[in-house]
Amino acid sequence: MRVTVMFDYDAYAVAKAKADHENISPGEAVSRLILQTVKITSQKQKTNATFRSPGGRYTSAQIGEIPAW
């Protein structure tokens, strides 16, 4: 898909460096960076850590259910 977007200079520099390093177009670099970020984010959300305290062991889901003060 062809689209025109405005990037911050720093974001463009990252995409351009990735494109040059991988010998791909800047557009392909942006696509890969976006998809990589989405994949990492979704993997982090699936993590269910276990926390220990003197009162027992709790999962991150259980801690999320604790009401706010």
Name the residue with higher pLDDT: 39 or 48. 39
Q: Residue 31's domain spans which residues?
A: 9-64
Flag whether 4 is in a domain: no
Flag whether 34 is in a domain: yes
pLDDT digits (tens, 9 = 90+) for 25-42: 999 999 999 888 877 666
What is the 3 state secondary structure string of the chain?
CCCCCCCCHHHHHHHHHHHHHHCCCHHHHHHHHHHHHHHHHHHHHHCCCEEEECCEEEEHHHHHCCCCC
Predicted confidence at residue 25, as pLDDT, reads 94
Flag whether 19 is in a domain: yes
Flag whether 2 is in a domain: no
Flag whether 18 is in a domain: yes
Flag whether 13 is in a domain: yes
> pLDDT over 90 for what percent of the chain?
36
How many domains are contained in the chain? 1
Flag whether 27 is in a domain: yes
Flag whether 42 is in a domain: yes
